[in-house]
Amino acid sequence: MFLGFAAMIWLGPAIGIFCDWESAVELLQNLGANAICYDQMVDYWLRMTSGAFTFLGIWYVILMLSPDKYDASIPYFGLLMIVESVILLIHGIRLSLPSLPFCADVTGCFISGAGILISSFIQKSMRSDFE
């Protein structure tokens, strides 16, 4: 369940790969961004980060669909979400961002990361009890 939640978080930006610049700016402004003037490098970075986030989301889907196969790596991906929540928290506070979407991002990353870690440890302890 938590791996699926993490997948949804990371797959959300996939739309940035395919939408035109004006639509991307409109979406970002709906999330709280100020006006963004067109810049080729910013357009390129949007596509690059959207692609990277999408690949992370796909990996969380793979982990969710085959948890036994990847059980050794799952805690690291829970930790990744917690580290990301700390990064977002530090810079959201530093930048004095409004609570939405800042608090939702921090909370979503922390809850999914903690849930992945806790679920993984419970699963491993249950396995060791039966061995």
Q: What is the pLDDT of residues 89-102, one digit of tens each?
A: 999 999 999 888 89
Return the pLDDT at 54.
Answer: 98
* pLDDT reported for residue 131: 64
How far apart CA 34 and CA 14 sit, in angstroms, is 21
Is the pLDDT at 114 greater than 70? The verdict is yes
103 vs 101 pLDDT, higher one: 103
> What does the pLDDT read at residue 40?
97
Task: Map out the domains of the chain as residue ranges.
Answer: 2-130
Q: What is the 3-state secondary structure (H, E, C) of 62-129?
A: HHHHCCCCCCCCHHHHHHHHHHHHHHHHHHHHHCCCCHHHHHHHHHHHHHHHHHHHHHHHHHHHHHHH
pTM of the model: 0.89
pLDDT digits (tens, 9 = 90+) for 36-92: 999 999 999 999 999 999 999 999 999 999 999 999 999 999 999 999 999 999 999
